[in-house]
Amino acid sequence: MSMPNNPDNYGLRLVTRYVVLTVIAIIFAFPLVFMIMSSLKPDQQLLADTSSLKAFLPVGDISFQNYENAFSRVPVGLFVFNSMLVTSVTVVLSLFVCSLSGFSFAYLKWRGRDLLFSIILATFIIPFETIAIPMLLITSKLPWIGLDGFSIGWLNTYRVQIVPFIADGLTIFLFVQYFKDLPVELIEAARVEGTTWWQIYRLIVIPLSGPVLATAAILKFLVMYNQYLWPMIVVQQEEYRPVMVGLQYFFQTFTKGGIAWGEIMAYLSMITVPVLAFYLYIQRAFIASVAATGVKG
Amino acid sequence: MAEIKLRDVHKSFGKVEVIKGVNIEIKDGEFVVIVGPSGCGKSTLLRMIAGLEDITQGTLEIDGVCMNDRQPKDRGIAMVFQTYAIFPHMTVRENVAFGLTINKIDKATRDLKVDEAARILQMENLLDRRPSELSGGQRQRVAIGRAIVRNPKVFLFDEPLSNLDASLRMDMRMEIGKLHQSLNASMIYVTHDQVEAMTLADKIVVLNDGKVMQSGSPMELYKEPANMFVASFLGAPSMNFINVEVHDINEENVTVYNPTLSPIKVPHKGRDISKKSQAILGLRPQYLRLVEPSDGILNGKVILTERLGAETIVEILLKDGKRVIAAISEDQILSNGKEIGLQFNPKQVHLFSSEDSKFLSENRK
């Protein structure tokens, strides 16, 4: 950015910029604030407050009663735990597997590489709904050797929610594009120094891939945390149920006694917090990695 | 230290042949500069020596061992890249020690070698910094340091100074020259900059279109260029070329002339040459002297003057519409359009065949 010619003008522009940013921030924060505040209020007050600014303020009869009630209806804690387990394991495995295959597509020469990459790109256009039933048929017959011995069929497990989503075309594509943009001389310099390909991946490429790791992690996290259709199909037992299916289950408990909005807001607050926390963490990591690896020309 | 031999080396990318049968021999401890215009294949050739590109045909030997199928790490080479290629997420110390760490050299030896390299390159105070905190010249030192610590048989430099500004480039050029003297290692250096080639090399290899045009000591190439390409590539400003006709031949001299050039006798050596045949006269700008029009072998008028302080570059339009450039070793003020004569010593000119642009007469030293 060039230096401002007129300091007054510069100050005015700065103020305008911050006012605009603040307004946008408030617009985005409103629903979240409303959700959290409402979750702390009894239904009667909650509905009365919606006609005024009180809806966004912690005023009146504030308590955690809604949370207690929500817990008594369904095991929210278990649902959040299930989702976090499935999501985090998938994200970690996905980053590893997709970055390795991206590395191979970007740097190694092997027969059929370009054809296979085209096929992987082509998987973008297949909607999940079209392959859900075939996937159900396959996973219901897959064998498994675990601590409790040999078994057939993956339904009602964590692994059926994790394994099919580890590798995906978009994540591999992200890694390939990023790796191709890294200066090839870094890889060549490392090769001349005597590294193996594994060492190049581990010591050179991955430490320089903070931005793409963060991007891929956020995208995968959101997809996995919001999983609904697939766990609906493959998980019937409460033990393995994730939050989004749990939400549907939670709604069903209201059919007889009317809807308790405060409890719904409490449930939604509990399932939103992990996403926000992860997003904020990754955002910090993202900025740190860009600062650490920034290559000046 | 090592001897390197390239024998009839070819390289093709698909159907495009970029290196077309190159033969080069590099003696132990020799500093060889491969020079040529952009796209002539010089970087590809260096990468083939490094093992970063396959050799399509021919052999590469280092110390008598064929290296064609060896991995880069097994060739005993170290390479310095144009873009430095230092790892941005490591400190200078980690960068310099990278090859040693990879090869599991113990920490004490590693530190010793890194400190020694830092001392040679005068960068002891930079060891704990990150590359983003370094200037271009400092980064290039780090890249050279990384090469030094591994004690390679051969150093490869791929246009290492191209990204530096002019004054830094001169400093680093001198540093590299000193480094060669102190390490006495074989070095192969690729550049398109003829000043780097002339100042650093024990031997220059001029490459054009994937073929070696000429190789030899810098002065040999400057004074006895084998063809018009080498003659025009080395020396700044470029050599002037004037079409002439052979008027007379005897054992000692060839007399040439053209309508704007009074007949001159140039020494006759080399290939057969026949009367009335066409030839090309090569005149280095530095060997031209400005005289009164009546005394000039060539006459014309000044169209442009560039005053560089210690030297003046004058562009002169000859009567037949051709332009020649003269480099005068003093500051001169000449008005545009001024009629002027040019003198030169016929013994300092070069004569090329107009058929294949090869050298016809040899320069007397």
Question: What confidence score (pLDDT) does residue B332 get?
Answer: 83
User: In terms of DSSP H, where are the helices of B185-315?
Assistant: 194-200, 218-223, 228-233
Residue pair A103/A201 in contact by the 8 Å Cβ criterion: yes
Chain B environment of A194 (Cβ under 8 Å): 72-73, 99, 102-103
Computed on alpha carbons and rounded to an integer, the radius of gyration of chain B in Å comes to 24
B160-194 burial, b for 16+ CB within 10 Å, e for fewer?
bbebbeeebbeebbebbeebbeebebbbbbbbbbb
Place of tokens 């040459």: B273
Query: Would you call the peptide bond into A42 cis, given omega within 30 degrees of 0 as the criterion?
Result: no
Q: Who among A189, A293, A294 is closest to B81 (CB)?
A: A189
Computed on alpha carbons and rounded to an integer, the radius of gyration of chain A in Å comes to 24
Q: Nearest chain A Cα to B74, which residue?
A: A194
Query: Considering chain A, what is the average pLDDT of its residues?
Result: 89
Residue pair A124/A204 in contact by the 8 Å Cβ criterion: no
The answer to whether the Cβ–Cβ distance between B88 and A293 falls below 8 Å is yes
The answer to whether the Cβ–Cβ distance between A293 and B79 falls below 8 Å is no
In this structure, the number of other CB atoms found within 10 A of the CB of residue B333 comes to 7
Interface test with B, best of A107, A109, A182, A193 (most B CBs within 10 A): A193
Fold that domain A76-296 belongs to in CATH: MetI-like fold (1.10.3720)
The answer to whether the Cβ–Cβ distance between B132 and A294 falls below 8 Å is yes
On whether any CB of chain A is under 8 Å from the CB of B81, the answer is yes
pLDDT band at B364 (very low <50, low <70, confident <90, very high): very low
Query: Cα A164–A166–A172 angle (5° rounding)?
Result: 125
Question: What confidence score (pLDDT) does residue B257 get?
Answer: 87
DSSP notation for A18-53: HHHHHHHHHHHHHHHHHHHHHHTS-HHHHHHHTTSG
Residue pair B233/B37 in contact by the 8 Å Cβ criterion: yes
Dihedral of the alpha carbons of A21, A23, A29, A34, in degrees to the nearest 10: 170
**pLDDT over threshold 80, residue B194:** yes
Q: Which residues of A touch B (CB under 8 A)?
A: 183, 185-186, 188-195, 199, 203-204, 207-208, 292-296
Residue pair A43/A262 in contact by the 8 Å Cβ criterion: yes
Question: What confidence score (pLDDT) does residue A5 get?
Answer: 58
**pLDDT over threshold 60, residue A182:** yes
Query: Mean pLDDT, to the nearest integer, of B290-314?
Result: 90
Chain A environment of B84 (Cβ under 8 Å): 185
What is the DSSP-derived secondary structure letter of residue A200? I
- Tokens linked to B65: 């061992």
Q: Who among B78, B87, B88 is closest to A192 (CB)?
A: B78
Chain B environment of A289 (Cβ under 8 Å): none
Phi, psi angle pair for B206, to nearest 5°: -95, 125
**What is the per-residue pLDDT across B251-295, written as a single tens digit (0 to 9) for each?**
778 888 888 888 888 887 665 677 888 889 999 999 999 999 888
Residues ≥6 apart with Cβ < 8 Å to B93: B114, B127, B128
pLDDT band at A295 (very low <50, low <70, confident <90, very high): very low
The answer to whether the Cβ–Cβ distance between B50 and A193 falls below 8 Å is no
Query: Considering chain B, what is the average pLDDT of its residues?
Result: 89
The amino acid present at B23, given as its one-letter code, is N
Distance in angstroms between the alpha carbons of the first and the last residue of chain B: 34
On whether any CB of chain A is under 8 Å from the CB of B105, the answer is no
Please give, rounded to a whole number of angstroms, the shortest distance from the CA of A5 to a CA of chain B.
29
**What is the per-residue pLDDT across A196-226, written as a single tens digit (0 to 9) for each?**
999 999 999 999 998 899 889 999 999 999 9
Q: Nearest chain A Cα to B87, which residue?
A: A186
**pLDDT over threshold 80, residue B357:** no
Beta pairing partners, B358: B227
Q: Coil, strand, or helix at residue B149?
A: coil
**pLDDT over threshold 50, residue B342:** yes
Chain A environment of B190 (Cβ under 8 Å): none
Please give, rounded to a whole number of angstroms, the shortest distance from the CA of A219 to a CA of chain B.
25
- Tokens linked to B324: 């020649």
Residue pair B82/B159 in contact by the 8 Å Cβ criterion: yes
B243-277 burial, b for 16+ CB within 10 Å, e for fewer?
ebbbeebeeebbbbebebbeebebbbeeeebeeeb
ipTM metric: 0.81
Q: Nearest chain A Cα to B134, which residue?
A: A296
Residues ≥6 apart with Cβ < 8 Å to A288: A210
Query: Mean pLDDT, to the nearest integer, of B28-40?
Result: 93
**pLDDT over threshold 60, residue A294:** no
Chain B environment of A202 (Cβ under 8 Å): none
Residue pair B168/B153 in contact by the 8 Å Cβ criterion: no
Question: What confidence score (pLDDT) does residue A290 get?
Answer: 66
Chain A environment of B79 (Cβ under 8 Å): 188-189, 192
**What is the per-residue pLDDT across A128-166, written as a single tens digit (0 to 9) for each?**
999 999 999 999 999 988 888 888 889 999 999 999 999
User: Between these two residues, A75 and A288, which has the higher pLDDT value?
Assistant: A75
User: Between these two residues, B237 and A293, which has the higher pLDDT value?
Assistant: B237
- Tokens linked to B113: 């070698």
- Tokens linked to B248: 């007379």
Residue A146 C-beta-side C-alpha neighbours within 13 Å:
11
Residues ≥6 apart with Cβ < 8 Å to B128: B91, B92, B93
Q: Is residue A234 within a helix (H) or strand (E), and if so which, with residue range?
A: helix A229-234
Query: Cα B301–B305–B310 angle (5° rounding)?
Result: 130
Q: Nearest chain B Cα to A204, which residue?
A: B87
Question: What confidence score (pLDDT) does residue B293 get?
Answer: 87
The answer to whether the Cβ–Cβ distance between A191 and B52 falls below 8 Å is yes
**What is the per-residue pLDDT across A23-36, written as a single tens digit (0 to 9) for each?**
999 999 999 999 99
**pLDDT over threshold 90, residue B8:** yes
Q: Nearest chain B Cα to A207, which residue?
A: B89
* A82 alpha-carbon distance from chain centroid: 14
Chain A environment of B81 (Cβ under 8 Å): 185, 188-189
Helices H / strands E in chain A, number of each:
14, 2
- Tokens linked to B74: 């097994």
On whether any CB of chain A is under 8 Å from the CB of B257, the answer is no
**pLDDT over threshold 80, residue B356:** no
**pLDDT over threshold 90, residue B50:** yes
Every domain of chain A with CATH number 1.10.3720.10 lies at 76-296
Chain B environment of A296 (Cβ under 8 Å): 132
- Sheet with B57-62: list strands edge to edge: B16-26, B4-13, B57-62, B65-66
On whether any CB of chain A is under 8 Å from the CB of B109, the answer is no
pLDDT band at A296 (very low <50, low <70, confident <90, very high): very low
Question: What confidence score (pLDDT) does residue B360 get?
Answer: 67
The answer to whether the Cβ–Cβ distance between A208 and B72 falls below 8 Å is no
Q: Is residue B57 within a helix (H) or strand (E), and if so which, with residue range?
A: strand B57-62
- Tokens linked to A188: 């060549």
**Cα–Cα distance, A143 to A131 (Å, whole number):** 20
